[in-house]
Chains A and B, each alone.
Chain A
Amino acid sequence: MRVLVADDSRVMRQIVLRTLRQAGFGDWDVVQAGDGAEALALTRAEKPDLVLSDWNMPEMNGIDFLRALRAGGSSVPFGFVTSEGSPQMRELAESEGALFLIAKPFDAGTFESALRPHFR
């Protein structure tokens, strides 16, 4: 199992990795990207089994990253991890094909609830 974590904050990527471990997903391989454009290229090259992406990033934001993946025919499972969790953003994320949206702040329980229905 390989997950791509996209966030322009290195600190936040470390927190996401730590939280994945705490939630019981510590054996996953991880690929990291620092913006949406890098994440798109790495997703196409590395073919992860899951993408966890921030929404607000330089170069390409998270929703455009997701749209580019879907437009290119990728159906990789995709979840947002973002500081913005309004109902409108959740609706938009879902309509564009995201599995879930985790709003910051989060803890291991938040990750487990979001991921466990999709990944064992």
Chain B
Amino acid sequence: MTDTTSTLAQSVVPMAQDLFTAMVDGEPGLLLPMEALEEPITDPLYAWVDIVGPAVSRTLVVTARETADRLARSLLLKEDDEPVTLEDVQDALGEVANVVGGNLKAMMPEGSSLTLPVVEHAEPSASRPADHEQALLWWGGPILIQLWTSTNGEDL
């Protein structure tokens, strides 16, 4: 793991917890780090942002549609049984990727740009496995954050 990846990796959990505490849950302690996923995420949604320029990085957030639905309800202050549209769910999960990626960008060399978030049912293509991944648990639902970094111009 490069120094850059290591620095970013160490920041992912506190950054994600700050995000959920301030804007999702309104209280700390509900987003918990896990050693690894206990089983593959079913019916996954993938949200990612890229950092492009002198520094290259991707932040990918993966979670089950069910957990993404709960996330959208929490962000929009909806009741547990209220329906949410796929558009709202994609918007909510994309914002999680955007905030995590944006905060990571602040730790990288100047001059790079953050792309708009992309949310899909299929994972983005990548030439190699992620440099770092962090499993998290929120209301019983797993959330996986994966990071790729490149400091020598190689493709992600």
Binding site for B on A (CB under 8 A): 8-12, 14-15, 18, 56-58, 82-86, 88-89, 103-107
Binding site for A on B (CB under 8 A): 18-19, 21-23, 72, 75-77, 87-88, 91-92, 94-95, 98-99, 101-103, 105-106, 110, 114, 116
7 tightest A-B contacts by CB?
Answer: A83-B102, A105-B22, A86-B106, A84-B102, A105-B19, A11-B91, A107-B22
Does B99 contact A56, Cβ atoms closer than 8 Å?
Answer: no
Report chain A residues within 8 Å CB of B103. 83-85, 103-104
A107: nearest chain-B partner, CB-CB: B22
B72 contacts which chain A residues (CB < 8 A)? 11
Name B115's closest neighbour in chain A (CB-CB): A56
B27 to chain A, nearest CB (A): 11
- Asked if B116 and A12 sit within 8 Å, CB to CB, the answer is no
On whether the beta carbons of B102 and A104 are closer than 8 Å, the reply is yes
Instruction: Check A15 against B98 for contact (C-beta < 8 Å).
Output: no
Rounded to whole Å, the gap between the CB of B4 and the closest CB of chain A is 15
* Alpha-carbon gap, A83 to B106, bound state (A): 9
Neighbouring B residues of A103 by C-beta, 8 Å: 102-103, 106
Contact A18 B77 (CB under 8 A): yes
- In the assembled complex, the CB of B86 is this many whole angstroms from the nearest CB of chain A, namely 13
A107 neighbours in B (Cβ, 8 Å): 22-23
Chain A residues positioned under 8 Å from B105 (CB to CB): 84, 86
B23 (CB) vs chain A CBs: closest residue = A105
Q: Are A82 and B102 in contact (CB under 8 A)?
A: yes
How far, in whole Å, are A57 and B94 apart by their CA atoms in the complex?
13
Give the CA-CA distance A106 to B92 in the complex, in Å: 16
